[in-house]
């Protein structure tokens, strides 16, 4: 088994790449590296989840570790309990992938995602000598769905006593972990809620729905006359939005809205926001014009959090909708982010379209993927001259980013430019160069 940690845990085809024996072994390695006597675990509802939950329980038991099982819950609920109890956590989820895939995300004691060093240590144990049981006796896993109540209470508390009465919202639950809890939380806070894709059957998670497929949400928002649409991914650690006219609002725009709001209230520490290399150039320009500094990290919300914690900053996130409010959570939380957005709209007494439009102007961005066999990162040095030539042609009005995916065998090619045609032409040029390189490599 050659699975390794990507940008968000370990992920692969269920029962083919990711197998029950391997997950059990992974649990044992994680228990030794993280050193916690208790793990809190959960799953996102896909049909392979129960088998891998049991595999985790078996591996942890072999190491004498206690397990609290929350059942089907959003990933941030696991992080919250791990933080509150100072224990470790594990989530069985493949995030936005289809039901055929699954994965494991870990949280270190305190509810934070693993560092690169922790991940490397776990991987070393997996490929090294056989893991031998500790000889300790572990209790059977405890079913603890009640532990989610503390997380739910923290969501309401994040509004500092304010409510969302009168707000009309459509939520797309992606047939995943948010399907039961998200409608309930929003209604309890006063929202009028229309929920779609909230009937999970184990196989329909992320199927033409959720944050990666917002078309249905856009339609329902307009039909319902709602003020806002919120689209979660399978494990609900991120969210994207739709305004009343059905226009898409991505993570860059959401982070921009939050950054400006916190800045104007004197709550944006050091007037700095943390983003990743994928963030649109228009965001950088808009923040500079408002006197807000931008700190850039590699792709992955764990890198965003590392920067936030190192410098004591308050806000960061990714274009994909992972948003971290460091003073409120230890990881991206789609439901928390949605509540903060609705609260900002209530306080501003303005529609989402106005706030999103005023916050930033997105430069046309084209992102396409090239499927590869082998190490996608190895292609980058060979493509360096072509990338440099494209960057020179774009000048200051554009940006190029070519990087390997952290979760799939893909090379991601992204270009931003003053016009969509210019961005597409640059992407086409880079993809053609990549295909030619792959063709030459394949004939050797």
Q: Which of 24, 93, 95, 211 is catalytic?
A: 95
Q: What is the 3-state secondary structure (H, E, C) of the chain?
A: CCCCCECCEEEEEECCCECHHHHHHHHHHHHHHHCCCEEEEEECCCCCHHHHHHHHHHHHHHCCCEEEEEEECCHHHHHHHHHHHCCEEEEECCCCCCCCEEEEEEEECCCEECCHHHHHHHHHHHHCCCCCCCCCCCCCCEECHHHHHHHHHHHHHCCCCCCCCCCEEEEECCCCCCCCHHHHHHHHCCCEEEEECCCCCCCCCCCCCHHHCCHHHHHHHHHHCCCEEEEECCCCCCEEEEECCCCEECHHHHHHHHHHHHHHCCCCHHHEEEEECCCCHHHHHHHHHCCCEEEEECCCHHHHHHHHHHHCCCEEECCCCCEEECCCCCCCCHHHHHHHHHHHHHHHCCCHHHHHHHHCCCCCEEEEEEECCCCHHHHHHHHHHHHHHHHHHHHHHCEEEEEECCCCCEEEEEEECCCHHHHHHHHHHHHHHHHHHHHHHHCC
Structure tokens at 416: 């931003």
**Closest among 199, 192, 257, 195 to 230, alpha carbons compared:** 195
| Cα gap 290→306, rounded to integer Å | 25
**Beta carbons within 10 angstroms of residue 367's beta carbon:** 14
- For residue 69, what are the β-bridge partners? 41, 143
- For residue 274, what are the β-bridge partners? 295, 316
Number of alpha carbons in the 13 Å side-chain half-sphere of residue 357 = 8
95 is catalytic: yes
Residues whose CB is less than 8 angstroms from the CB of residue 295 and which lie 6 or more positions away in sequence, other chains included = 272, 273, 274, 275, 307, 311, 313, 316
| Cα gap 98→293, rounded to integer Å | 37
Q: Are 69 and 82 in contact (CB under 8 A)?
A: no
Active site residues: 95
């Amino acid at each position: 088994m050659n699975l390794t940690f990507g940008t968000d845990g370990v992920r692969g085809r269920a029962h083919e790449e990711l197998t029950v024996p391997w997950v059990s072994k992974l649990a044992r390695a994680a228990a030794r590296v993280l050193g916690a006597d208790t793990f809190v675990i959960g799953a996102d509802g896909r049909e392979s989840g129960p088998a891998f939950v049991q595999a985790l329980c078996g591996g942890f038991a072999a190491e004498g570790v206690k397990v609290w099982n929350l059942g089907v819950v959003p990933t941030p609920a696991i992080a919250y309990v791990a933080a509150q109890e100072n224990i470790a956590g594990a989530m069985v989820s493949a995030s936005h992938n289809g039901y055929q895939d699954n994965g494991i995300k870990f949280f270190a004691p305190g509810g934070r995602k693993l560092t690169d060093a922790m991940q490397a240590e776990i991987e070393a144990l997996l490929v090294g000598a056989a893991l031998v049981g500790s000889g300790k006796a572990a209790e059977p896993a405890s079913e603890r769905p009640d532990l989610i109540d503390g997380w739910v209470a923290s969501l309401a508390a994040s509004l500092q006593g304010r409510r969302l009465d009168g707000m009309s919202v459509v939520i797309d639950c992606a047939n995943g972990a948010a399907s039961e809890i998200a409608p309930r939380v929003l209604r309890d806070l006063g929202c009028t809620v229309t929920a779609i894709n909230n009937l999970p059957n184990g196989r329909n998670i992320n199927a033409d729905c959720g944050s990666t497929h917002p078309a249905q949400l856009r339609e329902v928002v307009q039909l319902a006359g709602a003020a806002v649409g919120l689209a979660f991914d399978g494990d609900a650690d991120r969210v994207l939005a739709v305004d009343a006219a059905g226009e898409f609002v991505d993570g860059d725009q959401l982070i921009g809205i939050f950054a400006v709001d916190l800045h104007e209230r004197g709550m944006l520490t050091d007037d700095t926001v943390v983003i990743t290399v994928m963030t649109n150039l228009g965001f950088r320009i808009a923040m500079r014009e408002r006197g807000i500094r931008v700190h850039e990290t590699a792709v992955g919300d764990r890198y965003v959090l590392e920067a936030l914690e190192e410098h004591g900053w308050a806000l960061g996130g990714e274009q994909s909708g992972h948003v971290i409010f460091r003073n409120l959570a230890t990881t991206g939380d789609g439901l928390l982010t949605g509540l903060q957005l609705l609260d900002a709209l209530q306080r501003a007494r303005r529609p989402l379209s106005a706030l999103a439009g005023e916050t930033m102007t997105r430069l046309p961005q084209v992102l396409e993927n090239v499927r590869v066999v082998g190490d996608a990162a190895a292609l980058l040095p060979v493509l360096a001259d072509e990338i440099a030539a494209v960057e020179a042609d774009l000048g200051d009005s554009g940006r190029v980013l070519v990087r390997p995916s952290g979760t799939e065998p893909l090379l991601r090619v992204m270009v931003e430019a003053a016009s969509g045609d210019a961005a597409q032409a640059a992407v086409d040029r880079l993809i053609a160069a990549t295909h030619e390189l792959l063709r030459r490599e394949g004939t050797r």
